[in-house]
Amino acid sequence: MLDFFKGYKKFAIGFGILCAVIIAIIYSVLNVEKPLPIYQPSQVDTTLVDSTIQYVKKYHKIADFSLTNQNGKTITQNDYKDKIYVADFFFTTCQTICPIMTDHMLAIQKEIITDDEVKLLSHSVTPVIDSVAQLKKYALQKGVNDKKWNLVTGDKKQIYELARKSYLAVKSDGNGDKYDMIHTENFMLIDKKRQIRGFYDGTNPEAISELLNDIKTLKKEYK
């Protein structure tokens, strides 16, 4: 009888160890940080995507661009090479959601100010009004750091195509001007491969917190 219990004791110890290992494995799997999704045009609200690419299910990237920032400098995709960045669309005379979006971009700027891996990019949707001088005035008023954040203006058609065909972020206005548009509150998180990794409500503080956390998650992909 005693030998039976000794054998049972060994079995119980072995079974306990096995259970502990299984629990540890399950805990480890459940707590592995999942990578951020890579967004494709087919996954996004069709009102934000140009009809010519709504069917695209893979390989979507931000197109090449050439625009002018608040200092009169030409900004291209090369200025964001090997960078993670947050992009949005705004205009300096907007009195509704833009001031809130700008304040939240400033909050992001504060968090990434010493992080050489992350930058910001804001596109004017009224480039005729938002000249270099106007952007510079706005940048100075708001506290934009030139090393971290470019406010860009340029050819309206190019900006429209970037919004609709690259960033999947802007609705067309339909007021008669083929390239006129209205912007949305969306912030887009772009990775080092120029892929969209997240959309966030730029007017919502909770979404900004989520964005900042997602930047940390995305950075881990490059370690």
Q: What is the pLDDT of residue 167?
A: 98
Tokens of 219: 């950075």
Task: Examine the domain organization and report whether 19 and 108 are in the same domain.
Answer: no
In sequence order, what are the residues at sequence separation of 6 or more whose Cβ sits closer than 8 angstroms to the Cβ of residue 39?
Answer: 60, 168, 195, 196, 197, 198, 199
Per-residue pLDDT of the chain (223 residues; tens, 9 = 90+): 445 445 555 555 555 565 555 654 544 444 466 899 999 999 999 999 999 999 999 999 999 999 999 999 999 999 999 999 999 999 999 999 999 999 999 999 999 999 999 999 999 999 999 999 999 999 999 999 999 999 999 999 999 999 999 999 988 755 556 667 778 999 999 999 999 999 999 999 999 999 999 999 999 999 8
Place of tokens 């979006």: 101
The pLDDT tens digits of the residues spanning 152-192 come to: 999 999 999 999 999 999 887 555 566 677 789 999 999 99
Q: What is the pTM of this model?
A: 0.84
Task: Examine the domain organization and report whether 97 and 17 are in the same domain.
Answer: no
Q: What is the pLDDT of residue 142?
A: 97
98 annotated among ligand-binding-site residues: yes
Long-range contacts (CB closer than 8 Å, 24 or more residues apart) made by 27-34: 33/217, 33/220
In angstroms, the CA 181 to CA 135 distance is 19
Task: Examine the domain organization and report whether 11 and 49 are in the same domain.
Answer: no
In angstroms, the CA 123 to CA 149 distance is 11
In angstroms, the CA 92 to CA 163 distance is 17
Nearest to 132 by CA among 68, 77, 76: 68
Q: Tell me, rounded to whole angstroms, the distance of Cα 42 from its chain centroid.
A: 18
Which DSSP string corresponds to 175-198? SS-TT-EE--SEEEEE-TTS-EEE
Which domain does 92 fall in, by range? 41-220
Task: Examine the domain organization and report whether 187 and 87 are in the same domain.
Answer: yes
Task: Examine the domain organization and report whether 100 and 138 are in the same domain.
Answer: yes
Task: Examine the domain organization and report whether 74 and 22 are in the same domain.
Answer: no
In angstroms, the CA 3 to CA 1 distance is 5
Q: How many separate domains does the chain show?
A: 2
In angstroms, the CA 87 to CA 169 distance is 10
Task: Examine the domain organization and report whether 96 and 26 are in the same domain.
Answer: no
Task: Examine the domain organization and report whether 108 and 159 are in the same domain.
Answer: yes
CATH number at residue 109: 3.40.30.10
19 annotated among ligand-binding-site residues: no
Q: What is the pLDDT of residue 24?
A: 46
Q: What is the pLDDT of residue 180?
A: 73
DSSP-assigned letter for residue 153: B
Contact 192, 83 (CB under 8 A): yes
Place of tokens 């700027």: 109
Task: Examine the domain organization and report whether 87 and 125 are in the same domain.
Answer: yes
